[in-house]
Amino acid sequence: MFYGSKFKGWFEGLAEEVSRKHKGDSQYIGLTSDVANFCKSIRKTRNCVEHTKPDERVEVFDFSLTPNNEVVPPTIAVYHPQFTQPRMPVSAYTSQVTEHIANLRDSDCIHVFKKYQCIGEASCPSGGAAGKPTWHKLVKYSYGIDGGNQIIPLS
C-alpha cells in the first residue's frame, strides 16, 4: 500500500490514514483496523522474543506430563503490556495465526486482481486495454480491496 505521505506508527498510522481517506467505507476501515491489530500482535511477539524484558516475554514449554500421566503438548504464551496471548498449545497458536491470515483471503476482502486485462469484450473497461493510465502501463497487476460494487486500489 502506497499512501505517499509519512504517518506515525506504521500499522497504527496506516489504519488512521485509511480511516481518514475512506470515511464512508466502514468495511474497509474495519478490515484495515483488524489487519493493523493482527500485525501489531505479531510484531510485539517478535519483539518479546528478540528483546526479552521482565514484562515483555514469550514463554515456551516443552512436552510435559500431568499428575494423571497425560501428555501435554508444547505450549506458548506471550506477555506484553499491550498484548497478551494466554498459554496455549504451540500447534493451536500457529493454526490461529495461519487461519487469521487465510481468513483475510478467504473472505475475499483482500485480493490480487489484474487491472485492465480483458478476457472477453464484456470484461474490458471503457476504452479497452489501451486506455490504461500511463503510470499503469508497466504494471500488470495491482492489489485492491473488494468494496462491494467496486475495487478500491491499494497501489
For the chain, the domains span: 109-155
> How far apart are the C-alpha atoms of 9 and 131, rounded to whole Å?
37
Query: Kind of pairing, strands 64-65 and 142-146?
Result: unpaired
Q: Which amino acid is at 58?
A: V
> Is 24 exposed, middle or buried, given 0-12, 13-18 or 19+ CB atoms closer than 10 A?
exposed
Write out the H or E segment, with its range, that includes residue 91.
helix 90-106
Give residue 113's Cα distance to chain centre: 17
Grid coordinates in use for 47? 519483539
pLDDT tens digits in sequence order for the chain, 155 residues long: 444 556 666 777 777 887 888 887 788 778 778 888 888 888 888 888 889 899 999 999 999 999 999 999 999 999 999 888 899 999 988 888 888 776 655 444 443 333 334 334 444 444 444 455 555 555 555 666 767 777 777 65
Residue 145 three-state SS: strand
